[in-house]
Structures are given as C-alpha cells and as structure tokens.
C-alpha cells in the first residue's frame, strides 16, 4: 500500500512541477491555461484517468500473481513513463508567455473554446490515449480473472462433472452427456459401436425439412405447371442464343457467309477489293487477266471444279489438288469478294489464253445481274 501511495504522490508532484515551472520562469504574470474552463476540465479528467490507470495496473499485476520484485519494477516503469510524458507535455500545455498570448489574441480564429488548436488536440489525444489504456487493462483483467476461475473450477471439478461437461459444439447440437448414454442405448452393438437414441441436431433437421419443401416447389414449377424451363430446354435456348451471338460476331468480321450461303457481290467496292486480292494472291498462277498460267484459264467456258459461286468459293476456301486452301489467309467475306471478281472475268477474252481444261459449262444468266448472281451452269461433255 505504501508503494502505491508513493508512486501516486510522485505522479501528482511531477504534474504540479511541470505546471509550475513555466510560471516561475515567465517573469510578469501571463494568462494561464487554468483560467480556461474547458482546459481545466480536460486537465482534471486527465489526472483522474491517470489515477484510474494506476489502480487498474496494480489490480492487473495482483491478478497475474507475480513476484513483489517484478510488481515494483513494473509499477516503477509505468510511473516513470507517465511522469516523463507529463513533464514533456506540461510546458506546452500549461505555459503561455506574453508574446504567445498576444499572438493568440491576434489569431483568435485559430483557437478552439479559447485554447489554441494545438493545445486542444494535444489534450484530447492524451485523454483518448488514457481511455484506450483503461479499456486494454480492463480486458486483460477480465481474461485473467476468467482463467483463474476456470483453473479453480477444474481443480474442484469431480469426475462425474467432467464426464457431463459438453463442448459448445455438443451444446449446439443438443447432444447428451456421457453419463446418460445408458438410457440412450438402443441395444444394437456392431463391432463395439453402440447405437444411441440421440436426436438429430436442429440445424440438420431444419435443413432436411427445407430440402423437402424445395423439392415440392421444384416439382410443381418444372414438371407440373411448366412455368420454368427444364435443363434440356435451357440448353436448347442457350445454343440458339449462342448461334445468334456467333452470327453477329462473324458478321462484324465479315465471316457470316460460307459456301452454302454465298452470293454474287456486284458492288463496286466489293469487286475492287476482290480484284486487289486476286492480283496479290492469284495472279501468280492465273495471271492478272485470268488467262491462266500454272493454273487454268478463268475466262473461258471450261472449268475443272464448277463455275457457279458456291463451287468457286469452296475451291478457293478449302483448296484442291495443287491449289492451297486460302481460309487461313482470307476471311469468308474476302473469299466471296475474290470469287465474285473471278465471275466477272468470264468472256473477257484476254490475249495469250491457256488452252481449255475441264468440262464445258455454259451459264444460264449473266453473272452481273443481281437476281441471277448464283446461276447454275450446265456441264457439257468435252469436245
């Protein structure tokens, strides 16, 4: 008890010394912080909280049951730290010389309740820090007391009480203690494993009831009222939706056309694009005029693999014999453009034509007409 009184008096003395130092050294009297009611309230609250911290610290040390030497050491360390903090803070909080007071008067807009903003925030910070320390000490005291209580209960607990003690999980599942197993035994023993009449946990039962109710709702909705699609129907709808999205994507990239849907493209821009592709990729084998070189003549009536749009498109896309497939280099729209340009070469009669190859095929309609852009050709026996 003497030790506690000694440290408490030491703290109060340090506080008074810290407050008095600037007063004795300031010379002429100056407005004191103690004249401000809010500041005085803060200071009194700080002192009270400091006393509470000291009391709680001693209680915590006593609850921890440490040696007297360690107790004195810890108490002395705490007192020293708090005393140092007060000594450092007191000149800034309690002292205010005449020039500072005059400056504070000129800068009244920077004050809070008559105190400078820095002083107010320092006082508030110290109070909050003390409150935090008090909360931490109370939490530690609670834990220590609970541990001590559990320790005493464990020492005085009988074997029967230990057997009847249930964990939180057992209590949550409404299980019965070990001592009541005899009344729960159903008389069924399987290799030393006894069957007990323990009620199923509430969470399991209610979950099972929910599944039954959900199954009824599901059966009515999907198989009786048919107000929602089944898995097969959802799959079919998803496939249709994906096909539409794919067509839109291919259309944006010019891939919407294939050998089954291709038609003659008569637009000037498409034919110009087809000519550019033909000159760049096809002229090496067919010449720019289409008269034929390594490849066959594309301007006469004789064709090896068909002269309609679908046949030309398919031949260019997939290739045939020595001709490579162009689907890896050209998209479907480009293949349709070059196919349409090849159709316009028919009958141009360029010089130095390659001799006819393949079957004679006469077109039934002019390829340039939009309504007959997919005219079929009749194969005629080779002369």
- Helix or strand or coil: residue 238? helix
Q: CA-CA distances (angstroms) from residue 132 to 39, 126, 245?
A: 20, 10, 61
Where is pLDDT greater, at 214 or 28?
214
Q: What does DSSP say about strands 359-363 and 377-380: parallel, antiparallel, or unpaired?
A: antiparallel
**Among 23-32, 53-62, 166-175, the range of highest mean pLDDT:** 53-62
Where is pLDDT greater, at 227 or 105?
227
Q: Is the pLDDT of residue 2 over 80?
A: no
Q: How far apart are CA 278 and CA 335, in angstroms?
A: 10
**Domains in the chain, ordered, with CATH?**
2-156 (no CATH), 268-380 (1.10.760.10)
Residue 275: which pLDDT band, with cuts at 50, 70 and 90?
very high
Q: Which two tokens stand for residue 200?
A: 């199923």
pLDDT at position 64 = 66
Q: How far apart are CA 339 and CA 271, in angstroms?
A: 9
Other residues' Cβ atoms within 10 Å of the Cβ of residue 27? 9
Q: How far apart are CA 100 and CA 115, in angstroms?
A: 12
Contact 376, 310 (CB under 8 A): no
pLDDT at position 372 = 39
Q: Given its phi and psi angles, is residue 191 left (phi above 0), alpha (psi -120 to 50 degrees) or beta? A: left
Contact 312, 306 (CB under 8 A): yes
Task: Supply the DSSP string of 270-301, one letter for each residue.
Answer: HHHHHHHHIIIIIHHHH-TTS--SSSPPSSSS
Q: Is the pLDDT of residue 337 over 80?
A: yes
**Among 31-45, 74-88, 240-254, 334-348, the range of highest mean pLDDT:** 334-348
Residue spans of alpha helices (H) in 157-201: 159-164, 168-172, 181-184
Classify residue 155 by burial, with Cβ atoms within 10 Å: 0-12, 13-18, 19+.
exposed
Question: What tens digit of pLDDT does each residue of 150-185 get?
Answer: 777 767 766 666 656 677 787 787 777 776 777 778
Q: How far apart are CA 223 and CA 28, in angstroms?
A: 98
């Amino acid at each position: 008890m003497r030790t506690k009184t000694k440290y408490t008096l030491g703290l109060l003395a340090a506080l008074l010394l810290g407050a008095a130092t600037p007063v004795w050294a300031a010379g002429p009297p100056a407005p004191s912080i103690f004249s401000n009611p809010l500041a005085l309230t803060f200071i009194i609250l700080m002192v009270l909280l400091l006393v509470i911290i000291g009391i709680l610290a001693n209680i915590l040390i006593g609850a921890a049951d440490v040696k007297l030497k360690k107790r004195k050491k810890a108490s002395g360390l705490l007192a020293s730290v708090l005393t140092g903090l007060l000594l450092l803070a007191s000149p800034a909080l309690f002292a205010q010389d005449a020039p500072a007071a005059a400056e504070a008067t000129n800068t009244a807009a920077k004050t809070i309740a008559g105190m400078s903003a820095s002083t107010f925030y320092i006082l508030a910070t110290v109070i909050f820090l003390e409150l935090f320390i008090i909360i931490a000490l109370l939490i530690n005291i609670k834990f220590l007391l609970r541990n001590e209580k559990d320790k005493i209960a464990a020492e005085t607990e009988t074997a029967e009480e230990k057997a009847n003690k249930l964990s939180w999980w057992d209590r949550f599942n409404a299980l019965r203690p070990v001592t009541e197993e005899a009344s729960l035994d159903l008389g069924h023993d399987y290799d030393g494993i006894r069957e007990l009449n323990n009620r199923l946990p509430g969470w399991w039962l209610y979950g099972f009831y929910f599944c039954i109710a959900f199954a009824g709702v599901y059966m009515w909705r999907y198989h009786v009222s048919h107000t929602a699609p089944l898995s097969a129907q959802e799959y079919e709808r998803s496939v249709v939706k994906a096909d539409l999205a794919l067509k839109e994507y291919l259309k944006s990239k010019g891939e919407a056309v294939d050998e089954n849907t291709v038609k003659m493209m008569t637009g000037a821009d498409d034919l110009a694009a087809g000519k550019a592709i033909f000159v760049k990729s096809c002229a090496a084998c067919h010449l720019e005029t289409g008269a034929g070189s390594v490849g066959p003549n594309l301007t006469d009536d004789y064709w090896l693999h068909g002269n309609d749009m679908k046949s030309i498109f398919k031949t260019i896309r997939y290739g045939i014999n020595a001709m490579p497939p162009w689907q890896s280099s050209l998209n479907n729209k480009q293949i349709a453009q070059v196919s349409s340009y090849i159709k316009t070469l028919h009958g141009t009669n360029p010089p130095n034509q390659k001799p006819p190859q393949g079957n004679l095929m006469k077109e039934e309609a002019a390829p340039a007409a939009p309504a007959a852009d997919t005219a079929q050709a009749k194969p005629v026996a080779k002369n």
